[in-house]
Amino acid sequence: MSEKSAILVIGAGSWVTALALVLARNGYRTYLWDSQSEHIHALIKDRCNNRHLPGFQFPDCLVPIPDLSPLQGEVKDIVIAVPCESLAHVLRKLTGNHARAYSICLACKGLEPETHSLNHLVVRKILGDIPVAVLSGPSFAREVAAGFPTAVTVAAADLATAGYFAAWFHGKVFRIYTQDDIIGVQIGGAVKNVMAIAAGIADGLGFGANSRAALITRGLAEITRLGVAMGARQETFMGLAALGDLVLTCTDDQSRNRRLGLLLGQGGNVASARGAIGQAIEGILTAEAVHELSREYAVEMPISEQIYLVLHGLTTPRAGVEALLGREPRSELS
């Protein structure tokens, strides 16, 4: 990597803003762009993301920009952290800017809604065979922005490529581990959102810590089964991007997916919960993708199936829990 090269960060939610702050604090000139021009102009004016991550002023080298055109030829390293449903649209905007010269790090935790594809494959389909990595792990945006110690994983098809991307983010309080299991890291980061909805529902219904622990443990088993069927390594799911992120999102109300589950368990509906939370909730579309993938790969995923039914109004939260508890006894290892 060239010394402190410029990096473009795409998206302007809380998570991408936190990552932009990490890069800027590491000394990179960091450009921040989003398709919502009104929001970008507010970032330029306020020098802070008051809508999604208030209280953290931008360093001088963090520069929100309203237009990508002036960056043509200057920036080839890009971080993208948009909702997965918007990823293909964003990538297509890059195709006119010498796309094959780009190196892209994805910090989106979900699956492509229409095709149920892993995000790195969406990049390859639209931009060709360019260097691509994914960043995932237990990390709430506000804590990252505040400089609290955090550890995440950067995965790519090979460790050398993962190391290239990891160097952007690694610092005194933001520790990066590298992986070459790009499939497992993405499945862990995506499907844990579905399990966080389940944990939120259980707590919203008034169940206790026993239920939450059971959901986390059996949820990890489901995530692992699907990941291995799709070509991941089993040991990946004991790491930061699966077990670590799963525990975090199932147990802390900073998780939007857990908050969705809480509201559903307390009698709310998906539309009202979305309005109350006010940001993208990846688990909703991921539940639908997992529903299809579990059938495609013939993987049994009972918790994910009940969450899919609840989100589509085909069962109630309480009936979903009763359906899980009413299943026939089986070996824990199967």
Contact 304, 291 (CB under 8 A): yes
Alpha carbon distance 326, 329 (integer Å):
9
Dihedrals φ, ψ of 78, to 5°? -135, 135
Which residue out of 45, 76, 125, 192 is catalytically annotated? 192
| 164 closest CA partner among 173, 155, 172 | 155
One-letter amino acid at 208 equals G
How do strand 174-179 and strand 132-136 relate by DSSP bridges?
A: unpaired
Q: Is the pTM of this model over 0.75?
A: yes
- Show pLDDT as tens, one digit a residue, over the chain (334 residues): 445 689 999 998 999 999 999 999 999 999 999 999 999 999 999 999 999 999 999 999 999 999 988 776 778 899 999 999 999 999 998 886 554 578 999 999 999 998 999 999 999 999 999 999 999 999 999 999 999 999 999 999 999 999 999 999 999 999 999 999 999 999 999 999 999 999 999 999 999 999 999 999 999 999 999 999 999 999 999 999 999 999 999 999 999 999 999 999 999 999 999 999 999 999 999 999 999 999 999 999 999 999 999 999 999 999 998 898 888 788 887 6
93 is catalytic: no
Domains in the chain, ordered, with CATH? 7-180 (3.40.50.720), 191-325 (1.10.1040.10)
